[in-house]
Homo-oligomer: A and B are copies of this chain.
Amino acid sequence: MFKLRSLVTALALVGSISVASAWEALPTQALEPSDNPSTAEKIELGKMLYHDPRLSSTGTVSCASCHNTTLGGEDNRPNSMGVNGQTGGRSAPTVWNAAFNKVQFWDGRAATLEAQAAGPVTNPIEMGMKSWDDVVVRLKGIAGYQAAFETVYGKDSISKDNATKAIAAYERTLITPNSPYDKYVGGDKSALSAQQVRGMEKVAELGCTSCHSGAAFNGAGTFQKFPMTADSYLEAKYHFTKDKGVAEVSKKAEDEHFFKVPTLRNIAVTAPYFHNGSVATLDEAVKVMAKVQLNKDLSKDETADIVAFLNGLTGEFPKQHMPKLPETAGKTVN
């Protein structure tokens, strides 16, 4: 195993740095925060809430609508569609392995899965609930949820905190180990093809893994400027700079166009790409990244090798049973 490259500044990344990356297999379990230990009942409650469209104003949008657990953990759309057909400006990140992100959302504005889970529910263009108080009232009106919360947290325990903790506990189970890459790193040298290994070496050589570092290829919570270098042709085509990233939240000039480094895990099945979902194919995404982040024009073969390697990052999606949601008895959803 190679030594993990230390974090370098944005500026240094543009240059050619040839320190090799550490190649790590994906952990099969995520760490739990001390104030939210996982239990089987909590995970089950979280799974129910995660898949329940009644957490949205219209009763049509659940967490799973945009972060689809029967697919690659997102929706394969440039921008997700929330209540009443509304769309926003960003592409839904995958929920698979989100437990290994150190920060959540494209702009990293949530530090934990728990904090992230609270956001979309009351976002007017996502799940559209007026307030978490309204969510709590609705959940309290469903007898099965009263019982499920009581089992996990004790009597009369339906609250925003307990709901988001349960959702986060469920999300910590959404891990996709045993990708061909993981098997290769674990010693099975036949798990990746010769082309994939070339792509893997190219990824390190180019410096992709400077940011996309660690087992989840997500830089362990680092932020990076995107795009690093202006390219008028690509900008005209993909409008990357329209979104100011972290600065949209912080309002600081120095945060402009900084984004959380997203995971490369399952990247082959989570098109389209980038914060605004503007690039449809993985092939193009790889070329764009090389150009605007590393100022490199990749050859057709280099691109194909890297895409082949990235296909080797698709893991095994765990089998799950379908949650049975407690019914809204004898009355309408809202």
Residues of A at the B interface (CB closer than 8 Å) are 51-54, 58-60, 65, 68-72, 75-78, 81, 83-86, 268-269, 271-272, 277, 280-283, 307, 311, 314, 317, 319-325, 327-333
Cα A333 to Cα B328 in complex, Å, equals 32
Q: Determine if B271 and A332 form an interchain contact, defined as CB atoms under 8 angstroms apart.
A: yes
Cα A330 to Cα B69 in complex, Å, equals 17
Known: A71-B328, A75-B333, A311-B329. 8 other contacts (CB 8 A): A53-B68, A58-B77, A59-B77, A60-B65, A71-B325, A76-B332, A283-B330, A319-B322
* Oligomer copy total: 2
Q: Determine if B77 and A329 form an interchain contact, defined as CB atoms under 8 angstroms apart.
A: no
**A308 to nearest B CB, angstroms?**
11
Q: Determine if A331 and B281 form an interchain contact, defined as CB atoms under 8 angstroms apart.
A: yes
Contact of A60 among B51, B75, B283, B332 (CB under 8 A): B75
Cα A77 to Cα B85 in complex, Å, equals 16
Residues of B within 8 A of A331 (CB): 271-272, 280-282
Q: Determine if A325 and B54 form an interchain contact, defined as CB atoms under 8 angstroms apart.
A: no
Contact of A281 among B65, B268, B330, B333 (CB under 8 A): B330
